[in-house]
Amino acid sequence: MHPSGPWGLSVSDTKRPKTDGAGTSRRRMQMADLAKLAGVAPSTVSRALAGSELVSQQTRERIQTLARQFNYTVNRAATNLRSGINRTIGVVVPYERASRQSFADPFLHGMIGSLADALTQRGYEMLLVRIDAENLDAASALIDAGRTAGVILIGQWRHHDQLNAMAVRGLPLVVWGTQLPGQRYCTVGSDNHLGGQLVAQHLLAEGRRRIGFLGDIGLPEVAERYRGFAEVLKTNKVALPDRRHASAPFLADAGRVAMHALLEAEPDLDAVFASGDLLAMAAIGALRESGRRVPEDVAVVGYDDVELAAHFSPHLTTVRQPIHEGGTALVETLLEMLERGEVLPSIQLETRLVVRESSRSGERA
């Protein structure tokens, strides 16, 4: 049924020759072999390679050297099975069936890198898993199967309830996202509400009055950003444009289309808050296509402060989500939850506005 070459994608036949005689049949070396070579029992090899104090330093070093010589590494599946210790963490990136492309978001990319670093540094391995957002239970399966010790989920999307259910089932889970009322799981994220406020305040201070919003309010994070944003505008008696949200995930092309739509509805816009940097960049492209200048005619503010934001032209004003600290916080929280066996409280990271070119009114209109 399944393939089976020399590299043994499968090793289904139990009766394959154990005799390593000819030298052709390259069975993977195992602990017993190394034990024989070293003239000790497998148990000693096991302890030696684990660096146990129980075996004399001399023997230990001899065995370690031998192992290196023969490129021997202990079989992870066996270790895992016997000891029950599992040092791999699942990082789950849900995708929506419609637009598989959600992976294009540079913020997400940065987060994955950050997580990879944080996990590696702590001696954990990272299993990157994409799952259908409709079937989030697949994430639980990772843990039920003993595949990973815990799960970090990036983006809560519209799955608050499913996530709650998972947390209640007792699955070690940490989510990148925003805090919601009645939430049983642990989130790490920026203060989206504050972020939205900061943007509105800034744009108002710059003298902008006809401000548009770009983003999908169906997503809790975006909704929070919008809420803070709208609050401040309302307090200052500035109207929100009707067509204030053009449902668009974090896709560049969709962003362009949405921006054009927004312009059609509100031709005399003088500012736009895009709920993600990618969206903001796409919006700037659309604005330029429509003959408008940024920031002279229309100010643009993004969210995330991805690596490129500072290098985009014009340099992008944006709300900074500290990606490195975010990754670290996710990992540390999860590991501590694993240790303590209980859900920890959610974390809000420092959130601040980074003002750059794209939103400055030269002459402070």
Partner DNA sequence: ACGCAAATTGCAATCGATTGCATCGATTCT
Partner DNA sequence: AGAATCGATGCAATCGATTGCAATTTGCGT
Kindly state whether residue 173 participates in binding its own copies, applying the rule CB under 8 A: no
Q: Which stretch binds its own copies (CB under 8 A): 101-109, 191-199, 207-215, 229-237?
A: 101-109
Q: Are 256 and 246 in contact (CB under 8 A)?
A: no
Residue 175 binds what, of DNA, its own copies, none (CB under 5 to 8 Å, by partner type)?
none
Q: Exposed (0-12), middle (13-18) or buried (19+): which is 337, by Cβ within 10 Å?
A: middle
Quote the Cα angle for 113-114-118, to 5°. Answer: 120
Among 12, 43, 135, 236, which residue sits at the site for its own copies (rule: CB under 8 A)?
A: 12
CB of 70 to its own copies, least distance (A): 9
Kindly state whether residue 78 participates in binding its own copies, applying the rule CB under 8 A: yes
Q: Is the peptide bond before 267 cis (omega within 30 degrees of 0)?
A: no
CB of 17 to DNA, least distance (A): 11
Kindly state whether residue 84 participates in binding its own copies, applying the rule CB under 8 A: yes
Q: At what angle do helices 220-235 and 192-205 cross, to 10 degrees?
A: 40
CB of 336 to its own copies, least distance (A): 9
Q: Which stretch binds its own copies (CB under 8 A): 31-39, 178-186, 259-267, 339-347?
A: 339-347
Q: Are 275 and 214 in contact (CB under 8 A)?
A: yes
Q: Which residues bind to DNA, rule: CB under 7 A?
A: 12-14, 28, 30-32, 39-44, 46-47, 49-50, 53-59, 74-75, 78-79, 81-84
Among 139, 262, 272, 282, which residue sits at the site for its own copies (rule: CB under 8 A)?
A: 282
Q: Are 314 and 287 in contact (CB under 8 A)?
A: no
Among 163, 200, 259, 284, which residue sits at the site for its own copies (rule: CB under 8 A)?
A: 284
Kindly state whether residue 2 participates in binding its own copies, applying the rule CB under 8 A: yes
CB nearer to its own copies: give 67 or 222: 67
Kindly state whether residue 41 participates in binding its own copies, applying the rule CB under 8 A: no
DSSP code of 315? P
CB nearer to DNA: give 24 or 71: 71
Q: Six-digit token pair at 323?
A: 């990606």
Residue 326 binds what, of DNA, its own copies, none (CB under 5 to 8 Å, by partner type)?
none
CB of 46 to DNA, least distance (A): 3
Measured CA to CA, the distance from residue 335 to residue 332 in angstroms comes to 5
Q: Are 60 and 49 in contact (CB under 8 A)?
A: no
Residues 219-238 that bind its own copies (CB under 8 A): none
DSSP code of 60? H
Kindly state whether residue 22 participates in binding its own copies, applying the rule CB under 8 A: no
Measured CA to CA, the distance from residue 144 to residue 75 in angstroms comes to 21
Residue 127 binds what, of DNA, its own copies, none (CB under 5 to 8 Å, by partner type)?
its own copies
Tell me, by CB under 8 A, how many residues bind its own copies. Answer: 79
* DSSP of 147-201: S-SEEEEE--TT-HHHHHHHHHTT--EEEES---TT--SEEEEE-HHHHHHHHHH
Kindly state whether residue 360 participates in binding its own copies, applying the rule CB under 8 A: no
Measured CA to CA, the distance from residue 206 to residue 199 in angstroms comes to 11
Kindly state whether residue 361 participates in binding its own copies, applying the rule CB under 8 A: no
Q: Is 130 helix (H, G, I), strand (E, B) or coil?
A: strand
